Amino acid sequence: MRWWQCRLAAAVALLAAVLALGAAGPRSPAPLRFAPGGRFKLALFADLHYGENAWTDWGPAQDDASDRVMAAVLDAENPDFVVYLGDLVTANNVPVANASLYWDRAISPARRRGVPWSTVFGNHDDMPFEWPPEWFSPAGVPPVHCPPAASAMPEPDPGCIFRGTPRVELMTAELDRACGLSRSSVGPRELWPGVSNYVLQVLSHEKPHDPALLMYFLDSGGGSYPEVVSCAQVTWFHSQSRFLNPDGRIPELVFWHVPSTAYVKVAPKATSEVRKPCVGSLNEEDVAPQVAEWGMMDALAHRPSVKAIFVGHNHGLDWCCPYEKLWLCFARHTGHGGYGDWPRGARIVEVAEKKHFSVNSWIRMENGSTHSHVTLSSARFS
Ligand SMILES: *[C@@H]1O[C@H](CO)[C@@H](O)[C@H](O)[C@H]1NC(C)=O
Ligand SMILES: *[C@@H]1O[C@H](CO)[C@@H](O)[C@H](O)[C@H]1NC(C)=O
């Protein structure tokens, strides 16, 4: 279904509800729930980097290739949920304010299959446009067409604005076309300029009213502001986790884009083989961490309920390593955009709810193979 069709369907459904009941509020999306058998499977799509060099042949071809990676992973794994782990677009390559169209393309594979998803921002999603030096050669600036959105700009008509699309605009456009499937949100205003800060509960299959998993999504910055998880986000995390999980009974997973400095501490030496206790197949570069650590890692490490953190950002890394009592994991570069030509794939995370609670993860490649299986709920190696 195309987005306007689903909006039309939603409008008709809302109208029917109004006529039937005489009143209707906006319908909140159905809660996430463990599937029969007590399993909940996530696919992590990291660093898709849509929208590179749209004025060349290779840019659009690369976006087509990214479509195929996601389709292959979704067909093979049939996940219950998709996490878009940041850098959905390469905004520094998007000259006019149409990044939300690329964003929409990135989330369309999940939407088309009716799979709910959520997104976090990476450092490239709202980066300002970088003028290609070759546009100053005799060849000049290639023709660019302003999207209709540009006409809503303030007077006088500024023509095509060479600027990024702000985080809030990207998120609002996503929610507008979500068909009730997006679980993303524009987080609390007091955490701005960070936007993708929210918590999702996954309800138990066995006990329909009990949450059996909490997923925290955090904006790790980058682009329009520094790559960092702020002190305000740490305070927010404390209050959310105390409220939702006061006794730490519910297992928790955490998602953001840029690795924290703790990743540097546990990282296997770059380009060496990944050895136990770490598990992975790609170790081709140094960790590129956040610029500061303002306490989030301490907050997480002191909660035994937190099992793992998942990040993207480094395309040449796909390992998981233990840190204190939790695991620090990289996803796997999914998109054909962005640096590096390592084969593309996606990290899969499968949670089984208690009594037999477990978190298992592996990497599913575009060609159908899987590797790097690891159990993330096991006791810390020491
Ligand atoms: C965004 O605008 C550029 C420049 O006009 C164009 O080349 C590109 O195809 C547009 N992208 C989308 C997704 O519409
Ligand atoms: C799939 O790709 C991987 C590299 O990611 C390679 O090692 C493996 O042999 C390939 N498998 C098949 C079936 O082509």
Tell me the DSSP string of 105-155: HHHHHHHHTT--EEE---TTTTPPP---GGGGSTT-PPP----GGGGGSPS
Question: Would the CB of 323 count as within 6 Å of ligand 1?
Answer: no
CA of 149 to the centre of ligand 1 (A): 12
Report how far ligand 2's centroid is from the alpha carbon of 370 (Å). 9
- Ligand 1 close to Cβ of residue 149 (< 6 A): no
E-strand stretches of 114-271: 117-119, 198-203, 211-217, 252-255
Q: Identify the pLDDT of residue 5.
A: 58
Using the predicted structure, report yes or no on whether residue 149 has a pLDDT greater than 70. no
**Residue 152 clears pLDDT 70, i.e. is over it:** no
Helix (H) or strand (E) holding 156: none
Q: Ligand 1: distance of its center to the CA of 184 in Å?
A: 25
Q: What is the pLDDT of residue 4?
A: 56
Atom of ligand 2 nearest to the CA of 281: 5
The CA–CA distances, whole Å, from 347 to 191, 223, 306, 332, 365 equal: 28, 24, 18, 6, 9
Cα(255)–Cα(44) distance, integer angstroms: 10
What is the 70 CA–ligand 2 centroid distance (Å)? 17
For the residues 80-104, what does the mean pLDDT come to? 94
Q: Which residue has the tokens 């081709």?
A: 284
Checking if the pLDDT of 235 tops 70, the result is yes
Distance 54 CA to ligand 1 centre (A): 6
- List the chain domain ranges: 35-375
- Cα–Cα distance between 382 and 24 in angstroms, integer? 55
147 pLDDT tier (thresholds 50, 70, 90): low
User: Counting ligands in written order, which one lies closest to the CA of residue 95?
Assistant: 1
Distance CA 146, CA 324 (A): 50
pLDDT of residue 296 exceeding 70, the answer is yes
Question: How many angstroms separate the alpha carbon of residue 74 from the centre of ligand 2?
Answer: 18
144 lines ligand 1 (CB under 6 A): yes
**pLDDT band per the 50, 70, 90 thresholds, residue 24:** very low
Q: Which residue has the higher pLDDT, 22 or 127?
A: 127
The kind and range of the H/E element at 237 are helix 231-244
pTM for the full model? 0.92
Is the pLDDT score of 156 beyond 80?
no
Q: What is the pLDDT of residue 320?
A: 98
Mean model confidence pLDDT for the chain: 90
Residue nearest atom 11 of ligand 2, based on CA coordinates: 369
Four-way CATH pick for 35-375: 3.30.70.1170, 3.60.110.10, 3.60.21.10, 3.40.50.300: 3.60.21.10
- Identify the nearest ligand to the CA of 98 by its number: 1
Ligand 2 atom closest to the Cα of residue 367 is 1
Ligand 1 atom closest to Cα of 50? 13
pLDDT class of 316 with cuts at 50, 70, 90: very high
Band the pLDDT of 97: cuts 50, 70, 90.
confident
CA of 330 to the centre of ligand 2 (A): 20
pLDDT at 14: 46
Tens of pLDDT, residues 174-215: 999 999 999 999 999 999 999 999 999 999 999 999 999 999
Question: Smallest Cα–Cα separation from 306: which of 245, 231, 239, 219?
Answer: 245
The answer, yes or no, to whether any atom of ligand 1 lies below 6 A from the CB of 308, is no
Is 271 a residue whose pLDDT tops 80? yes
Is residue 2 within 8 Å of residue 312, measured between CB atoms?
A: no
Rounded Cα distance between 338 and 334, Å, is 10
Question: In this model, does residue 251 exceed pLDDT 90?
Answer: yes
What is the mean predicted confidence (pLDDT) over 5-23? Answer: 48
Please list every protein residue whose CB sits less than 6 Å from any atom of ligand 2. 343, 365, 367, 369
Q: State whether residue 33 is helix, strand or coil.
A: strand
- For helices 167-176 and 99-112, give the axis angle rounded to 10 degrees: 40
pLDDT at residue 151, as a whole number: 47
Percent of the chain with pLDDT strictly greater than 70: 87
Asked whether residue 72 carries a pLDDT value surpassing 80, the answer given is: yes
Confidence band of 111 (pLDDT split at 50, 70, 90): very high
